[in-house]
Amino acid sequence: MENIKEKKRRGYLFHYSEGVKEAFTNNEMDQVKKSSAYYRQGFEFGKILKLELENNNEQISKNSHWKSYCL
């Protein structure tokens, strides 16, 4: 049986993960969901994570290009 804390925690995690997904897919907050603090936190984290991944991918591409150029 699920207790109240577990149910709340599941809701918080759901909103947080929705925010992260929106940051990756739409690049803007959903007007309805943005009222949730957990959604906003997830969205901000998602934007930062997406930027870091893009920067890492650019760095890898530059290094790969340089290595193939040198061979």
Q: For residue range 2-51, list pLDDT tens digits in order.
A: 799 999 899 999 999 999 999 999 989 999 999 999 999 999 999 999 99
Q: Where do the domains of the chain lie? A: 4-70
Residue 60: predicted pLDDT:
80
Does residue 63 have a pLDDT over 80?
Answer: no
User: Percentage helix, strand, coil, to 5, in the chain?
Assistant: 85, 0, 15
Confidence at residue 6, expressed as pLDDT on a 0 to 100 scale? 92
Please state the pTM of the whole predicted model: 0.78
pLDDT above 60 for 69: no
